[in-house]
Amino acid sequence: MSFPWAKHYEPSHPLMKWMDEKLPLPRLVYNAIGGGYPVPRNLNYMWNFGVLAGFCLVLQIVTGVIMAMHYTPNTAEAFNSTEHIMRDVNWGWMLRYAHANGASAFFVVVYLHIFRGFYFGSYKAPREMIWLLGVVLFLLMMATAFMGYVLPWGQMSFWGAQVITNLFSAIPIIGEPIREWLVGGFSPDNAALNRFFSLHYLLPFVIAGVVILHIWALHIPGSSNPTGVEVKKESDTVPFHPYYTAKDGFGLGVFLLIYCLFVFFLPNALGHPDNYIPADRLATPAEITPEWYFWPFYAMLRSFTSDFFFIPAKLMGVMAMFTSILVWFFLPWLDTSPVRSGRYRPAFKKFFWVLVIDVVVLGYCGGMPAEQPYLMIAQIATAYYFLHFLVVLPLVGWMETPKPLPFSITEAVLGSDDEARLEATS
Amino acid sequence: MIRKIGILIGLFFTIGALWSFFIGTKSYITDPPAPLVAQVFHKTPQHLSLPSDGPFGKFDNQQLQRGFQVYNEVCKACHALQHVAFRDLEQIGYNKAEVKAIAAEYQIPHYDPNTGEVTTEPGKPTDHFPPVAYAGTGHPPDLSLITKAREGGASYVHALLTGFQDPPAAMKQQFPDSVGLPGLYFNPYFASLNIAMPPPLTAEGQVTYADGTKATVNQMATDVSAFLVWTAEPTLEQRRQVGWPVLGFLLFLTVLSYLAYRNVWADKKKH
């Protein structure tokens, strides 16, 4: 959003003036993330995660493209080429560990970014489009990560691919033909591996394109803020540069410290040992589990163990897993409260934290074997998850009494706002 | 309208999940599953301390050479090591001549695409350890990555090698079908408790160490486990060597960037 008080780009150097006439890229940057883009002054650290997600995308693309120069997407050589990268390619071990742990870091950052959106009502009008694009981004990320994990062609790669591609056969009547068409055969083999490699290389660039739309959509209304009160005047904002470039720089430093701790000292902590075993379609692992970032959804998939009326349990599980993310698309319209930020919504706040605990519990159950008591716990947690988004949120918005909002961001930050006092006296 | 449909969809999945909960819990209470033999008698390995443990750990080349000797004289009969090249052995202290000699002991299969014949040639340092033709029961896994491919890593390998024993009397009573299986050996550290590998390290002095160390079963198991940690990740030391300066630099950078952030915001914050 170009607020009226935004600074204007005024190049003084003749080269920059020439550039501005021919291809105004510096002007674009200045207006998007430079001194010419006003941002609410009260953003907290939960607002750092968007830029960290962008950094993770760049990191994954750079490490991935270089590894693709050494990787062979053929079932006979995929595992060996991955070990070749680890042992013989100069700094290959670093690329591989950076990429594998980069995927985990990407999901940590994106989950925090999404939950920021849940709590502070970032999905509410006028920012619905940003939110919708964000859900699309999350789905693209999940597809990319799933296909990437298949590429080393280890035991978990193969059996994870087997489980997830089998979900398509849950679709009545047309499911099985669709599954065989997508997989390129009766079960994941060379055809599936090759096309997963092709798509795994493609999708990150699709993600980059949608990220551009996501940021463009954001820059129309500008960022929200922890109070949920829209920007009214100049004292509510600071220019993005240097205020948020400095804060994001610090946030990046903290992120890199934790990330590099994993890459250099705990590189296999988040992985499953079975993926260091070459894929063997005749030997089913004792437990088939995806990477940790898919565990909540895996738990929901496995929760449906009994047929429900005429619907087979497998189909219930598949529908539940997809619906659990599709509901996010409808969040701007499900949440009925006129108050944006959870800070001023006491009842909503409690349900939000119940949701956080619920998702963590689901995550824990998803990583455990599909046995009791994990099944029981996951079933209750799944029931609450759908109840929360589709029943609780509409009702809470109607029924709760919100706390009084500050007049403006300036009042929230400085404690008082002249305009507020004027409003009160007039 | 969206909200009404939403509430219905939400109730649909909620009730579906609760229905599965009800059916599942009822059957669990009325007909609890019997404990499996592995759940009762499987043991988790005791931690094995190696010089390469921890963020400051380093390989002990002497130990790795002893471990390689155990592999070379005991394990290679059934287990391959295909991700390791003979030239990699220089990293654990062998010189070029020794590596050449080790490589020449192995027969490497070469396939001639013109005749379709497979001939074998003595190995060269650039070759990888060859595949192993094994005709017995079971599938001896390649050992290159075994310490990364098993829960418990080197501790598991050591426990497995030293864990062969008679099955406990209680097991013979409770699970008679899991005891005395032909061609299998009881080992409580193995997932299914019965492994097709006969105890490979049976007697002290089975291997005569080149450096004169006493070759007890425990010593041989420890040394070969340490060697297998190296084969799984030869770049382990380099990884940590790079990691420390990276973390140090990032810490320095983060502190500076924090101070810069505070400096930039000084006029906007009350403190």
Percent of all residues in chain B with a pLDDT value above 90, rounded to a whole number: 84
Cβ-Cβ contacts under 8 Å for A301 (sequence gap 6 or more): A167, A317, A318, A320, A321
The verdict on a CB contact (< 8 Å) between A389 and B10 is yes
- Which neighbouring-strand residues pair with B117? B112
The shortest C-alpha distance from B187 to chain A (Å) reads 18
The verdict on a CB contact (< 8 Å) between A380 and B264 is no
DSSP letter, residue B138: S
Cβ-Cβ contacts under 8 Å for A127 (sequence gap 6 or more): A217, A218, A221, A224
Looking at the partner chain, which of B23, B148, B250 has a beta carbon nearest the beta carbon of A260?
Answer: B250
The shortest C-alpha distance from B203 to chain A (Å) reads 31
Percent of all residues in chain A with a pLDDT value above 90, rounded to a whole number: 94
- Spatial CA neighbour of A106 closest among A147, A44, A71, A61: A61
Tally A–B CB contacts below 8 A. 172
Looking at the partner chain, which of B21, B148, B263 has a beta carbon nearest the beta carbon of A376?
Answer: B21
DSSP letter, residue A392: I
The token pair that represents A374 in the structure block: 């994990």
Mapped onto helix, strand or coil, the DSSP state of residue A235 is helix
Q: Of residues A248, A274, A335, A411, which has the active-site annotation?
A: A248
* Superfamily per CATH, domain A37-273: Cytochrome Bc1 Complex; Chain C (1.20.810.10)
Looking at the partner chain, which of A304, A334, A394 has a beta carbon nearest the beta carbon of B16?
Answer: A304
- Domain B58-164+199-237 is found in CATH 3.90.1150.10: no
- Residue A7 annotated in active site: no
A148-182 pLDDT per residue, tens: 999 999 999 999 999 999 999 999 999 999 999 99
B232-246 pLDDT per residue, tens: 999 999 999 999 999
Listed by start position, the domains of chain A span 37-273
A255-292 pLDDT per residue, tens: 999 999 999 999 999 999 999 999 999 999 999 999 99
pLDDT reported for residue B137: 83
- A-chain CB neighbours of B34 within 8 Å are none
Q: By CA distance, what is A246's nearest residue in B?
A: B261
- B-chain CB neighbours of A276 within 8 Å are 145, 148-149, 232
- B-chain CB neighbours of A384 within 8 Å are 14
The shortest C-alpha distance from B49 to chain A (Å) reads 17
> DSSP H helical segments within B74-133, as ranges?
96-105
Which chain A residues in 152-191 lie under 8 Å from chain B, judged by CB atoms? none
Q: By CA distance, what is A249's nearest residue in B?
A: B257
- B38: pLDDT strictly greater than 90: no
**Reported pTM:** 0.95
Q: Which element (helix H / strand E) includes B119? A: strand B117-122
- B-chain CB neighbours of A289 within 8 Å are none
The shortest C-alpha distance from A85 to chain B (Å) reads 11
**Candidate ranges A52-61, A327-336, A402-411; pick with highest mean pLDDT:** A52-61
pLDDT reported for residue A5: 92
- A331: pLDDT strictly greater than 50: yes
B185-209 pLDDT per residue, tens: 999 999 999 999 999 999 999 999 9
pLDDT reported for residue B81: 97
pLDDT reported for residue A326: 94
The verdict on a CB contact (< 8 Å) between A387 and B18 is no
B41-67 pLDDT per residue, tens: 999 999 999 999 999 999 999 999 999
Listed by start position, the domains of chain B span 58-164+199-237
Candidates A258, A262, A387, partner chain B, best to mutate (most B CBs within 10 A) = A387
The verdict on a CB contact (< 8 Å) between B254 and A376 is no
- Spatial CA neighbour of A265 closest among B240, B233, B249: B240
- A383: pLDDT strictly greater than 80: yes
The verdict on a CB contact (< 8 Å) between A246 and B235 is no
The verdict on a CB contact (< 8 Å) between A386 and B17 is yes
The shortest C-alpha distance from A64 to chain B (Å) reads 19
The verdict on a CB contact (< 8 Å) between B28 and A327 is no
The verdict on a CB contact (< 8 Å) between A250 and B16 is no
Percent of all residues in chain B with a pLDDT value above 70, rounded to a whole number: 99
Which chain A residues in 41-70 lie under 8 Å from chain B, judged by CB atoms? 41
Q: By CA distance, what is A41's nearest residue in B?
A: B268
pLDDT reported for residue B179: 87
CA distances (Å), B2 to each of A320, A323, B200, B234, in order? 18, 14, 67, 58
- Residue A223 annotated in active site: yes
Which chain A residues in 186-245 lie under 8 Å from chain B, judged by CB atoms? 238, 242-243
Q: Of residues A219, A232, A233, A314, which has the active-site annotation?
A: A219
The verdict on a CB contact (< 8 Å) between A313 and B149 is no
Which chain A residues in 363-392 lie under 8 Å from chain B, judged by CB atoms? 371-372, 375-376, 379-380, 382-384, 386-387, 389-391
- Residue A247 annotated in active site: yes
- Residue A99 annotated in active site: no
- A1: pLDDT strictly greater than 70: no
- B270: pLDDT strictly greater than 60: no
Q: Spell out a b/e string for A391-420, using b for 16 or more CB atoms within 10 Å of the CB, else e.
A: bbbbebbeebebeebbbbbbbbbeeebeee
The verdict on a CB contact (< 8 Å) between A277 and B145 is yes
Instruction: Give the span between the Cα atoms of A273 and B152, in whole angstroms.
Output: 9
Q: Are A8 and A35 in contact (CB under 8 A)?
A: no
- A203: pLDDT strictly greater than 90: yes
In angstroms, how far is the first alpha carbon of chain A from the final one?
A: 30
Confidence of residue A417 (pLDDT cuts 50, 70, 90): confident
The verdict on a CB contact (< 8 Å) between A383 and B261 is no
Half-sphere exposure of A367 (CA within 13 A, CB side): 12
Instruction: Give the span between the Cα atoms of B248 and B243, in whole angstroms.
Output: 8
The verdict on a CB contact (< 8 Å) between B257 and A304 is no
Instruction: Give the span between the Cα atoms of A253 and A250, in whole angstroms.
Output: 5
Using CB atoms within 10 Å of the CB of residue A329, give its burial: 0 to 12 exposed, 13 to 18 middle, 19+ buried: middle
- Residue A291 annotated in active site: yes
- B271: pLDDT strictly greater than 80: no
pLDDT averaged over every residue in chain B: 94
Instruction: Give the span between the Cα atoms of B210 and B65, in whole angstroms.
Output: 9
pLDDT reported for residue B65: 97
| Residue B53 burial (CB count, 10 A) | 14
DSSP letter, residue A286: S
The verdict on a CB contact (< 8 Å) between B251 and A257 is yes
The verdict on a CB contact (< 8 Å) between A243 and B270 is no
Average pLDDT over residues B117-130: 95
- B178: pLDDT strictly greater than 90: no
Q: By CA distance, what is B38's nearest residue in A?
A: A286
